[in-house]
Every structure is written in C-alpha cells, then in structure tokens.
Amino acid sequence: MATDPAAELEALSAAGLLRVLRPLDSPAGPQVMRDGRALHNFASNDYLGLAGHPRLAESFIEGVKRYGAGSAASRLVAGTLAPHAALEEDLAAAKNAEASLVFSSGFATAIGCLPAIVGSGDTVILDKLCHASLIDAAKLSGATLRVFPHNDVPKLRKLLATVRAKDASGRILVVTESVFSMDGDLCPLLEIVEAVEEAEALLWLDEAHAFGVIGPSGMGLAAQYGLQERVTFQMGTFSKAAGLSGGYVAASRSWIDLLVNRARAFIYSTAPPPSLAHATRESLALIRSSDGETLRERLRANIRVLSPAAGSAIIPFVLGSNEATLEAASRLEAEGFMVPAIRYPTVPRGTARLRVSISAAHDQEVVAALKNLLPGS
C-alpha cells in the first residue's frame, strides 16, 4: 500500500484541482495585499464590511480586558461566561425563537446538531446543493439519507409522502439553505415550510449567507417571510455578514436543552473566547440598527451594479472547465481583482466557476470595473 501522498497531489494538480494556501499581507477588507500587490477583494463573505469595523474591534478589545483571552473549559464544565449567555439571549430574541445555542463554527453547529436530532430509524432529506457541512452531518447521524433535486418542492413532497407512509413515527428532518453558497439563489421557503408541516416533519434552515443581509433587521429569509416560528431550526454563522466567527442554532427551549445534552461538538469543545461572544453581541446590535440598514442598502446598490437580477450577494459565473476558470481568475488577478476559482468537489464536475462576493464596503466604481472584465460582459 502506498504511503506517500505525492501521487495523489500530482493527480490533483493534473486535474486542475490542487489547492494551495496563499496568505494575505494585510487585514481582510475590500482591498487587500497579497504577494506585495494590492487587490480588490471579491472573494470574502464580509457582506457588510464589518470584519474591519472599529466598533467590533473596540468591543473585542474591551471583551479581552473584561473577560480574558480564553474560556479555559467546555461550556458544560466551567466555560460558560456571561457574554455567552447574553449573546444567546440576544440572538434568540432577534430570531424570534425561545432559545439559541452558539458553537465555534458553522461546521461545528451542523456536525453537532444533526446527529443529536436524528439517528438510526430516522430520515434526513437534503437539497442536492446543501453545504458540505450539512451533508457530512447527515451522514454522521446514521439516519437514512435522501436527496431531492435543487429547490424541487414537488419532488420533496413525494419523498416526504413516501418516507411518512413507510414510518408514521420516525423523525424526518428536511435540510435546506436560505441562500445557496455557490449559486447565490434562494430557496422557495414558504413552499418548503408548507410541505414539511403537511408531513409533520422538522425543518433545518441554514441562514449562513442570509444572516445580516436579508429580511427585517437582517435576520434572514425566514424573517423576511414571517416564517421564523414555523422553522424548527434556524442555523447561521457569525463568520460572514457579522464579520467575526462562530455558528448558532435558534429553536424552541426544549430542542436547545436537548442539544446541550447531546450535541457532541458543543459538549466536547472548549467554549469560544468570551471576548468573541462580547464582540458578537456588538455585531448583532449593529446589524439590527439603522446603521446596519444603511449598510444593507449600500450592499443592494452594489449588487445591482454587477447583476440587477441577483437575489443575493453571491454571483457566480459558470465557465465549466477547471482550466478555463483558473485562467480567468489569473487574468482578473493580473488586473488587480481577487475572484476565486471554484471547482469540484465544492461544485459538481463540469460546473467550475468564478464566484463573486459583493460587499457594502466596495466602491461602486470598482464593482463596475470588475463587471467590465468578467466573462460575458
């Protein structure tokens, strides 16, 4: 058996699928430095430009001074500090839920929660384009895994009817996203909610790319449609529009209490730094304020410059082949624009693409200049 990974790396390189780390020489922001060059950054998920916001930086520093650098224990042992509890209260209120639970990342939220909600004898039904963390979490749960074509509600209804006819008592968890991370399109949430309710199933909605951006006060697609109380689990992250890091789930008190007892990624992880929780409270308050609404309007204006019909800040340009996509990304970088080349396994084979992420922090003139350089312009 071969033990040297060199051959695998060579195969990845030959297929145009090799990834390498390329550190930035500057803080994150709408313009960054890499390899000594200034680049307009259209690769990040910092949709509101909060990663460099002075209010968050000051709050983080204040949190370190008040609560120290680390939590020093898992949440259930001795790692729950005042900012953790306060953040969860704030978030539950913002999401119109009874309670919420914070994790170290969005991936940890999915991996911790789905196996705690369903298991052997239950069924998870996922949208085909769900994020890798949701797919991995569903597999880890041990539940039967079914997949419906992307945003195909009639097919979802058929799957729900089939599963429920076979088992009238097992849990069925439908998993989808508000904004799909590689296509930027939205799910038909009302239709999905109605299908889930008719089947007496549960719904897990990943609001990662909607949180901070869509809906009243930026609280997501469920809030935009007034459906928060009808979504069993509202998941999201603080690593995108909130400008920080971490993940969360908002749900009923009983579900959150169960997750505290069963979500292994929560139970067996050291708590996130209290200073981070303190800064996240400031980010949440900013997002929900009039200043947050001003940033969302600026973001929407920038999106309209690049693509008037786009429904989110994620705008893909599908080129198909890995080679063409890598070449296009390289040409853009030569022109001073950092736009990532997204390839398999992040997207299906043959659908490699440039993925443009728009921020409120971008100047409209820069967005317009990028538009003139993109394929099809």
Residues 83 and 231 in one domain: yes
- Supply the pLDDT for residue 1: 54
Answer yes or no: is 10 within a domain: no
Question: Out of 45, 71, 105, 302, which one is annotated catalytic?
Answer: 45
Same domain for 326 and 274: no
State whether the Cα torsion 86-89-91-94 is positive or negative: negative
Tens digit of pLDDT for each residue in 307-353? Answer: 999 999 999 999 999 999 999 999 999 999 999 999 999 999 999 99
Amino acid identity of residue 63, one-letter, is: G
Active site residue 40: no
Confirm whether 290 is a catalytic residue.
no
Task: Report residue 308 as tokens.
Answer: 């008037």
The domain in which residue 337 lies consists of 21-47+313-373
Q: What is the band of 299 on the pLDDT scale with cuts at 50, 70, 90?
A: very high
Catalytic residue list contains 45 = yes
* pLDDT band for position 167 (cuts 50, 70, 90): confident
201 & 283 share domain: yes
Is 15 within the bounds of a domain? no
Decide if 92 contacts 99 (C-beta within 8 A). yes
Residues 325 and 268 grouped into a single domain: no
42 and 63 in a single domain? The answer is no
Residue 206 appears among annotated catalytic residues = yes
Which pLDDT score is estimated for 375? 86
> 241: domain CATH number?
3.40.640.10
- The pTM of the full predicted model, rounded to 2 decimals, is 0.95
Same domain? For 129 and 36 the reply is no
Please indicate, yes or no, whether residues 37 and 134 belong to a single structural domain of this protein.
no
Once rounded to an integer, what is the mean pLDDT over residues 112-131? 98
Q: Are residues 244 and 116 in the same domain?
A: yes
Instruction: Tally the domains of the chain.
Output: 2
Catalytic status, residue 89? no
Residues 360 and 320 occupy one common structural domain? yes
Q: How far apart are CA 55 and CA 268, in angstroms?
A: 32
**Catalytic residue (choose from 88, 122, 183, 206):** 206
184 and 39 belong to one structural domain: no
Q: CB of 175 within 8 A of CB of 134?
A: yes
Residue 3 scores a pLDDT above 90: no
> Is 261 noted as a catalytic residue in this protein?
no
- Mean pLDDT over residues 206-210, rounded? 98
Instruction: Choose the catalytic residue: 122, 127, 177, 282.
Output: 177
Confidence (pLDDT) at 377: 66
Residue 293 lies in a domain: no
- The whole-number pLDDT of residue 118 equals 98
Per the prediction, the chain carries an average pLDDT of 96
- Active-site entry in 41, 181, 283, 359: 181
CATH code of the domain containing 350: 3.90.1150.10
pLDDT tens for residues 13-45?
A: 999 999 999 999 999 999 999 999 999 999 999
The answer to whether residue 59 sits within a structural domain is yes
Does residue 285 carry a pLDDT above 70? yes
User: Where residue 376 falls among pLDDT bands split at 50, 70, 90?
Assistant: confident
Region 107-112: what's the mean pLDDT?
98
Assess contact for 176 and 206: CB atoms under 8 A.
yes
322-334 and 364-373 helices cross at what angle (nearest 10)?
Answer: 130
Would 302 be classed as within a structural domain? no
Has 181 been annotated as catalytic?
A: yes
- Please tell me whether residues 173 and 271 are part of one structural domain: yes
242-270: per-residue pLDDT in tens?
A: 999 999 999 999 999 999 999 999 999 99
Say what the pLDDT of residue 67 is: 97
- Judged against a pLDDT cut of 90, whether residue 200 lies above it is answered with yes
Question: Is 92 found in the same domain as 60?
Answer: yes
